[in-house]
Structure 1
């Protein structure tokens, strides 16, 4: 098996300022160290960058918030996307196939949306998917006017993992991830 890392939507507008995910600094530092380990071991890395098309999006294209929050290394690929699933309309599958990847470590922001959708897209295309619990994050869900309860981000992330079923490997930490 050849492993690649997919970094989903780790953009400045989601880790800085008012729209930052909870504990953003710790999350970004952990991913930066993880990516450095992948680089040292020669693991291909692909960054997905959401276009942020909504007028009030904190990651609207062309703004500082749209910029990637993690450094992109030499030979790494950045693909823009406008769909939750990073495989739709991006050339991601072809990019991964060109690198011989059949096992993907999926990390990033909004566990229940773009991270889970991209993981599902990978499963649908026959990839083995690893989603380390420490490698994805999201937001607290506020209560709503209809009486729906608030849900903490950690629980939202756990439900996103659960929704993917048994087909996804879920190591606890980024340090637990292996390349084979």
Structure 2
């Protein structure tokens, strides 16, 4: 559970769905003590897969999860030296993969994924990319070009030419985890959520 400051700012409207490539989305829901309205909780995408997923999000989220052995992953060469320590489920949605890092088995994944999918508010999406070791400048540019009204990319370096980018310099420290209070030092999450654009139809 992410730590909270003594007084958490109020949100005007809590009926939003955060789509994120790692645990930040879940941390934000926890920070404001509100219900998860997204299936992208406790998991991660490799950066290029995540941008591809976002480019056709309704298509991908209409697909059934297909669980695979780590050795079947299209990304196996990137993590094969760690394969013996992978004790969490990996699943495909069509041609992209999701790593369910904080789930004990496939049954837990399916139960929580389906329950949270039923809560997604398609008219009120908040899209977040957190730079990770699989991310690069081209991926960040691709993310910035995606046609979402409410998106932010948290990066480890400054990219003033990237409209959606916000640099969180503390994340250059590889021992740090993404944390809402750290992000709040650089980016007003409450204001971002309260001033988001909501689809009317």
TM-score range, shorter chain: 0.3 to 0.5
Name the larger-Rg structure: 2
TM-score of the pair, normalised by structure 1: 0.40
Q: TM-score, normalised by structure 2?
A: 0.37
